[in-house]
Amino acid sequence: MHIRRLTPVDAQLYRSLRLAALADSPTSFMPTVQEEIITLTPLELEKRLAPDGHNQVLGAFEDDELVGIIGMVQDHRRKLAHKVLLVGVFVNAQARGKGYATALMNAAINTARAWEGVRQVLLNVRSDNARAKHLYSKLGFKLYGREPDAILVDGTFYDEELMILML
């Protein structure tokens, strides 16, 4: 297992896993597969994976296969730059239970710690996702809020919990 920052060279691997994530867990991600197919153009892929300071995607690899991803977003506005939002956390079904999610989360947390001025790591998690919430709590994240009816999928609303890790 190894974790590294993804670059535009990884675009097709990332796109494949991202679309698989949306298909596998439609209630855990905002876009639908169809929306992502339309919006995840080659230009958007390059933008998402290009080094731009602090926004980045980390990937977990088993041999040469990309099996997990996590996005990190830091607002560049001065008043909000002390926060990093973790997004799009996913490990494919075959790699679950092998420590990839923990490794990705730890890599993201350590990366955020290294960024000057960052004091908070935030994430949102579907309220009924007990496995993810357990992992996040184990890593020190604390619940600070709940958004009712945060996401609507096929006529069903899902709440999200807001979690924070103070660095």
For residue range 106-164, what is the model confidence (pLDDT) as tens digits?
Answer: 999 999 999 999 999 999 999 999 999 999 999 999 999 999 999 999 999 999 999 99
Q: By the 8 A CB rule, do 86 and 58 touch?
A: no
Question: What is the value of pTM for the model shown?
Answer: 0.92
The SS3 call for residue 96 is coil
Distances (CA, A) of 17 to 40, 59, 130, 157: 12, 10, 23, 25
Per-domain residue ranges of the chain = 2-118
Task: Find the helix packing angle between 42-49 and 11-24, rounded to 10°.
Answer: 100
Question: Which residues are CB-neighbours of 162 under 8 A, at least 6 positions away?
Answer: 122, 123, 124, 143, 144, 145, 146, 147
Report the pLDDT averaged over residues 70-85. 94
CATH of the domain spanning 2-118 = 3.40.630.30
